[in-house]
Structure 1
Amino acid sequence: MGVTVTKTGGGRAEIAWDPQTDDPQGRLAKIVENDHLAYVLEAIGGVGFEERAATEEQALKAARCTSEISRLLDRLTATQTVELHDRYKLGWKKIADAVRGTADAQSSIRRKYASGLRHLGRTDS
């Protein structure tokens, strides 16, 4: 894994990546530069709008940033599901257990796989 997260203590960390090999599409740089990462980390940390947003505009921006990252991660999970099934030849049960935390989620994984195929511009399998 090329991206490194170094814990520096006291609630601090340093994130480093190589723009050429780890972020060729510039997604990481954009997420950091546009404050998306900060908004997402605040949301994950449980900080609500009332604590972090002084204005309605800031609250809307926070919601938009979190939503955009959520959609990106959903697309990436879908394409990773295709990779797990097609490249590594893993079965639905094993993928469901890894992705959803339960082997019983095979039907949702099949839907995720179909979504991944669409994102990749494929209609096979």
Structure 2
Amino acid sequence: MSVHATKTGGAKFEVIWNPATDDPRGRIAFAVESGRLEYALTVLGAATVDDLGPVDTLRQATQATASLQRDLERKTRGLVVALRDNHGLSWTDIAGLLYDDPTKRSSARAAYNAGVRQLGLINAEVSEDSETD
């Protein structure tokens, strides 16, 4: 991995990346500079939603977390297409990676189909009934 997150002691960590090679579109930088990464980590660590504070904080945390989730979902779809098309992983294997549940093969195919559409590879789509493991 080229981006490194290292625990530096106690409750601190450091993230190191090369903007030119690891973040050419500036998505990591934007997530940091906009506070979205900070909000997402706050939400991830919160024991309950009530621990996040007043409604304005909840609104900002929701927007930040949803934005990062959408970006990660797009990236995940591309990864699924690459794993299936370029590396031949089975639907069972992909379901295990995505959902920690290898029986969710139809959900894995749905993620693949969404990735195919996103990448403009419409003709490569797989229906729910085709290509079993």
Same fold (TM over 0.5): yes
Q: Distance in 1 between the 2:12 and 2:120 partners?
A: 40
Structure 1's consecutive aligned runs of 4 or more residues displaced over 2 angstroms after TM superposition are 47-54, 56-59
Shift of 1:59: 2.2
| More RCO (CA 8 Å, sep 6+) | 1
Residue 47 (structure 1) shift: 5.2
Aligned 1:112-123 pairs, distance under 5 A? 112-123=111-122
Structure 2: distance between partners of 1:96 and 1:40: 25
Equivalent residue number for residue 62 of structure 2: 63
Question: What is the TM-score of this pair, normalised by structure 2?
Answer: 0.86
Quote the offset at 1:53 in angstroms.
Answer: 3.6
- What secondary structure sits across from 1:6 in the alignment? strand
Note the 1:81-92 alignment, pairs <5 A. Answer: 81-92=80-91
Instruction: Provide the identity percentage.
Output: 35
Name the SS for the 2:88 alignment partner: coil
Deviation digits for residues 31-74 of structure 1 (CA, Å, limit 9, x no counterpart): 000000110001110255544444x3332111100111111111
TM-score of the pair, normalised by structure 1: 0.91
Structure-to-structure mapping, 1:90-101, within 5 angstroms: 90-101=89-100
Please give the root-mean-square deviation of Cα atoms over the aligned residues, in Å.
1.5
- In structure 2, the partner of 1:23 is 23
How far did residue 79 of structure 1 move?
1.2
Count of aligned pairs between the two proteins: 124
What is the aligned partner in structure 1 of residue 130 from structure 2?
Answer: none
